[in-house]
Amino acid sequence: MNKSDKKNRIEKNSWIRRILLFSFFKKSSFIGRTVRRVILYFIAVILVFCVLLLNYSISSIDKRNVNVLVDIPTGSSFLEVTEILNRAGLIKYRIFFYSLTVIKNARRHIRAGEYEFNTSLTPNAIIEKLIRGDIKKYKVTIPEDFSLKEIIDRLKEYKLIDEDNFLELAGDEDFLGSLNIQADSIEGYLFPDTYFFDRSMSTRQIMKIMVSQFWKKITPGMIKRAGEMKLDIHKLVTFASIIGKESGDDAEKPMISAVFHNRLRKRMRLQSDPTAVYDLDSFEGKVLRSHLRRKSPYNTYVIKGLPPGPIANPGVASLKAVLYPAPVKYLYFVSKKDGSHFFSASLVEHKRAINRYRYINNESIQ
């Protein structure tokens, strides 16, 4: 090969390399531009998603200000929780809601139970409420001197208990023993108060809370005073329950107490109307003479002394009335039409009061 051919060949190879390099860089430039476009596209998508997510998190889907009850069953997965909220009309766009919970690390911190959500709440507020476990609390007021039956009815109004379970536990020896109740019934030990219960609580838990409140109210001073009067806790509660059922007026209760203390000292029957009808399956209306004559271990028209157990669940006023009766010698009282009572120290005076304040109609005592 002569020098001229060699030179031509070198130049030819050089041009081929230039063409190849040009093609490579041109192709690389195209790929680079494509990659940059894809990256910019994804960044734009993410930015748009973030903006939409932010707007979603602070916007309620319903401005009508309506409360909605939602039950989150125990063991529900987060997807199930999301579906429950969606069906309740509290959220939409589940992908956004799910993304919010991931950001807040909320999925593993949601407590089961019944929640009350307002439709004006934002998804952000809904998630915060679920994380707090802010389940719905029912404010339940148990009035002083409610009987066991009345307490059951009140709790059933809020669907907080199982009645059969409540009645079973009310007489369960082991359960009562665990609550330090030395009696065959929980009657008398369910303290009347205002409670905040939720439906995740069991019937047992609710009963424990109420009995715990009873023991908080029984002070060492009350126990000491009862001992001085030869009353154990059970007799104290039994006595107080009768006083409470006779009068709802706290100012009058020491007078009622004095009457019963005086009668017991004289070995007279207490003759308390509420005891005559306590253990009836159902009682409404007025106490009849036939009620007063019926044989019952609770009927103090028939038995002597206190009945075997409380006939209601007394409050502090009734308990203190037992321990600190009024210093009077009354032995009788009769109900006036306004609900208060007229007190008498003699049977003659009492009969006059009966004629004045009561009348008999079809064996009905008023």
Give per-residue pLDDT as tens, 314-357.
999 999 999 999 999 999 998 887 889 998 899 998 998 888 88
0.85 exceeded by the pTM? no
Of 293, 297, 295, the C-alpha closest to 363 is 293
- Judge contact between 155 and 140, C-beta under 8 A: yes
- Please name the amino acid found at residue 361: N
pLDDT at 365: 45
pLDDT at 64: 74
pLDDT at 159: 95
Fold classified for 67-132: Dna Ligase; domain 1 (3.30.1490)
Listed as ranges, residues in the chain with pLDDT below 70 are 1-59, 107, 284-285, 358-366
pLDDT at 362: 34
- Judge contact between 338 and 252, C-beta under 8 A: no
> What residue spans in the chain does CATH classification 3.30.1490.480 cover?
67-132
Strands 332-335 and 341-344: antiparallel
What does the block give as tokens for 58?
């602070």
